[in-house]
Chains A and B, each alone.
Chain A
């Protein structure tokens, strides 16, 4: 997505005004699940918590400063953008965890990282990965721990614009 500098700075300003910089331990963090390869037999795979290529960051949204409907709309937008005819993608559901639990699982921290369109965006910091290099054993372990503690909320009606699944509680 392209944003003008003005809209980006407006986003930053709004997020600074309304969303605290400090991520509380009890805050609910939502991971958008967009690929069928994130699941096997309805169970989450650890690749759902792979850091973004070349960084130690896993994108999440601070649900306490967003809503389920807004998260779903954003997730559908991301899925649409990433979709291709060869590998179509659609929003599958949410993975829900708290900062405190994520840290117990071995995550280093959760830092605020507002982006335009999602001022509640944050990054879950894990050990990083390198392109085509085996993921470190410790990161694999942390990812498995995260998966075991993550509550998965599958979208019962992906075609609807609003979230009508269970309320996201941890």
Chain B
């Protein structure tokens, strides 16, 4: 076993089990729809689908069903809220794993590649962290590789099954990237300031590539 912790640049330095994420399923929706249909049917007693009529003695049952329906809807709303929270946590986990990797590059020593390389600078690591925090969760999920360069910068790569690519390099104060799409000229974007707007534009390019993965 190789003890070099950088040996597997592919293995995240920090891993945690994924948080369970609730997503509303077709089954959940069927329950809600069923409940609503039941209530509507009850409101029109001519259908006689429910085991009671519109007589006075059945009023308690009406309230009971209304309560059930109300509880069901409340539960559903809570599930939806929890789902949104879990999505947020998922992005935070992705960011944390990547930041952990980025800062592991800081511990490289001089000449780490045998060709006079320098370790990743604190500024470049910090700038890359900013980029990662501003990228969307989908882009972070689809990130294929992250690695240090010999001049102290960090590269990030995305591609899809058609070999379309986005290649990004983040330096201490700026970033450069190219976008290679089929039947398009390669777009070269150089020395862009790291800001919410520039990262939003980059994110759109990444989305246009990773969304066509098959």
Considering only CB atoms and an 8 Å cut-off, how many residues of chain A contact the other chain?
A: 39
| Structural contact, B117 and A53, CB atoms closer than 8 A | yes
| Structural contact, A132 and B109, CB atoms closer than 8 A | no
Given contacts A36-B9, A132-B121, contact A138 B178 (CB under 8 A): yes
Q: Give chain B nearest CB distance to A145 CB in angstroms.
A: 10
Q: Give chain B nearest CB distance to A90 CB in angstroms.
A: 9
- With A and B bound together, what is the CA distance between A135 and B149 in angstroms? 9
Interface-facing stretch out of A10-18, A43-51, A65-73, A109-117: A43-51
Residues of B near A130 (CB, < 8 A) are: 151
| Structural contact, A140 and B114, CB atoms closer than 8 A | no
| Structural contact, A137 and B176, CB atoms closer than 8 A | yes
- Taking CB atoms and an 8 Å cut-off, the chain A residues in 68-83 that contact chain B are 78-79, 81-82
Assess whether B4 is interfacial by the CB under 8 Å rule: yes
- Taking CB atoms and an 8 Å cut-off, the chain A residues in 120-145 that contact chain B are 129-138, 140-141, 144
Interface membership of chain A positions 34-69, coded 1 if the CB is closer than 8 angstroms to chain B and 0 otherwise: 111111110001110011110000010000000000
The B interface is mostly helix, strand or loop, or mixed, namely: loop
Given contacts A50-B149, A52-B116, A141-B180, contact A86 B190 (CB under 8 A): no
| Structural contact, A132 and B6, CB atoms closer than 8 A | no
- With A and B bound together, what is the CA distance between A66 and B63 in angstroms? 92
| Structural contact, B148 and A37, CB atoms closer than 8 A | yes
- With A and B bound together, what is the CA distance between A15 and B163 in angstroms? 42
Closest to B120 in A: A132
| Structural contact, A87 and B112, CB atoms closer than 8 A | yes
- With A and B bound together, what is the CA distance between A86 and B111 in angstroms? 12
Assess whether B115 is interfacial by the CB under 8 Å rule: yes
- Contact with A50, one of B150, B174, B190 (Cβ below 8 angstroms): B150
Closest to A55 in B: B116
Residues of B near A46 (CB, < 8 A) are: 155, 167
Interface membership of chain B positions 149-175, coded 1 if the CB is closer than 8 angstroms to chain A and 0 otherwise: 111110100000000010101111111
Residues of B near A133 (CB, < 8 A) are: 151, 153, 171-174, 191
| Structural contact, A134 and B170, CB atoms closer than 8 A | yes
Given contacts A89-B112, A141-B188, 16 further A-B contacts (CB under 8 A): A35-B6, A35-B114, A36-B8, A40-B147, A41-B10, A50-B113, A53-B151, A87-B112, A129-B149, A131-B152, A132-B153, A133-B173, A134-B171, A136-B190, A140-B155, A141-B178
Chain B contacts to A: CB under 8 angstroms: 2, 4, 6-10, 107-109, 111-118, 121, 123-124, 145, 147-153, 155, 165, 167, 169-178, 180, 186, 188-191
